[in-house]
Amino acid sequence: MFAGHGNDEAYEEFASAALLAFLLSRAVFFALVIVGSNVAFLRKIYNDRVWETTVVLQRERIVPAIVLTVMNGDAWWYRSIALNGYEHRPFAPGRSNWAFFPLYPLTARLLAITGDFALNGMLVSHAALLGALLLLGPLTLACGGGDDDAERAMFYAAFFPPSYFLSLPLPEALFLFLTVAAFLAARRGRWWLAGLAGALAAATRPAGALLLPALVLLAIERGVWRRALGWLLLIPLGVGAFMLYLHRLTGNAFAFAGAQSGWGRHAGPFWSPIVAFLRNPGTIGEPWNLIGMNVLAALLLAAVACW
């Protein structure tokens, strides 16, 4: 698709494909959430070992059921930041909302349309996901792909199994949007915009700081690193500003890292979750994390990348 059109017509086609991928994938997501959250367990059958279930859809329960389903795991911590800000006390190891970066909850708070964080957060996530899909087509072309490659990229991103995270009141969709925006700006030689988008990404998730070496390598490849470097050095400011704020609140600029101990988390190789699952494959999921599906998706992505 998109072949033989002018630029304006091509981008209209990209927008149509991105919107279609967004609407279809989110329709599947909400259908699963609505049906899954309205399952009623009736009685045990087959020697009291299997539940007989039914789906009871009640219009007045749909929105509360969605909210109840999506508010799991880290969503509650982002809610605490959006409603009450960060904890203001001296640093001590243990669970704290210091572990979570500020741009997403602040965006959900500033752009509040409803009185419920879950709904506001999902609106931000869906807007960011749509924005990421709209930029992904032009980025694919800028990276040397064709029109068909661009269309497939949008659909694969929208339907990739763990993309359900992109609908939850979590920062993943916003981070994806800012990352795609940073690379597209860099590919088009707009290094000031790449640096700004990278800084915002680094204020969304700590992994955003890794955009700096990636974009510096891109600038070196294109022979413009001297001109680009000054702008790309904006990226660490996203993390640096948060660290200064935490130092003022807690006395410890690295409180976001120190708080991780409360969840038993520590630095390790990226393949650690896969190894942990393979050692105990019986744990296929948690309330907020479909572990088995995510591991299979990660292995599939690694295989495709190698191919």
Q: Return the pLDDT at 40.
A: 57
The C-alpha angle 261, 169, 82, rounded to 5 degrees, equals 75
| C-alpha–C-alpha distance, residues 124 and 45, integer Å | 43
Instruction: Identify the H or E element spanning 43.
Output: strand 39-45
CA R_g for the chain: 21
Q: Which residues contact 228 (CB under 8 A, 6 or more apart)?
A: 186, 191, 194, 215, 216, 219
Residue ranges in the chain whose pLDDT is less than 70: 1-10, 38-57, 285-288
296 close to 161: Cβ distance less than 8 angstroms: yes
| C-alpha–C-alpha distance, residues 185 and 188, integer Å | 5
Q: Return the pLDDT at 55.
A: 61
What sign results for the dihedral spanned by CA atoms 274, 275, 279, 280?
negative
Nearest Cα neighbor of 74 from 295, 288, 294, 293 is 288
Question: What dihedral do alpha carbons 246, 248, 249, 250 form, nearest 10°?
Answer: 80
| C-alpha–C-alpha distance, residues 48 and 196, integer Å | 59
Facing residues of 252 across strands? none
Facing residues of 51 across strands? 44
Q: Return the pLDDT at 69.
A: 84
Helices 235-250 & 191-202 angle (0-180, nearest 10) = 30
Q: Residue 214's Cα: distance from chain center in Å? A: 19
DSSP code per residue over 192-220? HHHHHHHHHHHTT-GGGGGHHHHHHHHHH
| C-alpha–C-alpha distance, residues 195 and 236, integer Å | 9
**pLDDT tens-place string over residues 155-197:** 999 998 889 899 999 999 999 999 999 999 999 999 999 999 9
Q: Write down the domain spans for the chain.
A: 7-267
| C-alpha–C-alpha distance, residues 29 and 167, integer Å | 8
Q: Which residues contact 276 (CB under 8 A, 6 or more apart)?
A: none
pTM: 0.84
Count of Cβ atoms closer than 10 Å to residue 206 Cβ: 16
Q: Which residues contact 31 (CB under 8 A, 6 or more apart)?
A: none
Question: What are the Cα distances from residue 153, in Å, to 4, 101, 177, 238, 305?
Answer: 20, 28, 14, 28, 13
217 close to 183: Cβ distance less than 8 angstroms: no
Q: Return the pLDDT at 236.
A: 96
Q: Return the pLDDT at 83.
A: 94
